[in-house]
Amino acid sequence: MKKHSPANGTIRVGVVQFPGSNCDDDCVDVVRRHFDFEVFKIWYQLTELPKLNAMIIPGGFSFGDYLRSGALAAHAPIMRPIKEFANRGGAVLGICNGFQILTESGLLPGALLQNRNMEFICRTVHLKSASNSILSMPIAHGEGRYWIDENNLSELEDKSRIAFRYCNEQGLTNQTANPNGSVANIAGVYSENKKILGMMPHPERASDCLMGGSSDGLKVLSEFFNRV
């Protein structure tokens, strides 16, 4: 895997930990093993961040998903310095529950609602990226149905801020390929400066072919780190 190095040296990545996070160690392992970056676990009660180049808010069930997914975590102490980091142009990746937290905190537009079939979904899906690449990686969520109103959807489309759409193996983005009922098959979106990415699929779980899946998640992570 290509090594990314900013002008001032090695990239430093923070991985946030909330009560109920369960993909934090997966993210730490992938970033260390495949990218050879310095990684710091960031506890949710901290009010200051160490010097970082990028942050990952991982998947799981922060605070048990009480109230609704991501709603309580969005008000945790760590979110104030994360917002300050993002507002300074810092790169932030929210995966699954992390995506929910980013929308709940206002760092990304839209909302993640209960899946169309009202059931938890755990399976591999295909995605079409903004560059029209077709990727394969897993999803595991009960509230992954992305919603946004028509005016803001048009803005996302006009400004190329839709990072991923659910598709079939041929790249068709139809309702048959839409696992949760997301508007316009959206699986991930960017912030206006494209430094913040939220996505429901798990790139950290698609990092090693030896695990029986694809390694397409490394392409997603590599592109994200290229924005640092």
Enzyme catalytic residues: 96, 202, 204
Residue 185: strand pairing partners: none
221: phi then psi, degrees, rounded to nearest 5: -65, -40
| Distance set, CA 165 to CA 95, 158, 209 (Å) | 15, 15, 23
CA dist 228 and 220 (Å) reads 13
Would strands 121-129 and 162-167 be described as parallel, antiparallel, or unpaired? Answer: antiparallel
- Based on the number of CB atoms within 10 Å of its own CB, is 199 exposed (0-12), middle (13-18) or buried (19 or more)? buried
| HSE (side-chain half, CA atoms, 13 Å) at 143 | 24
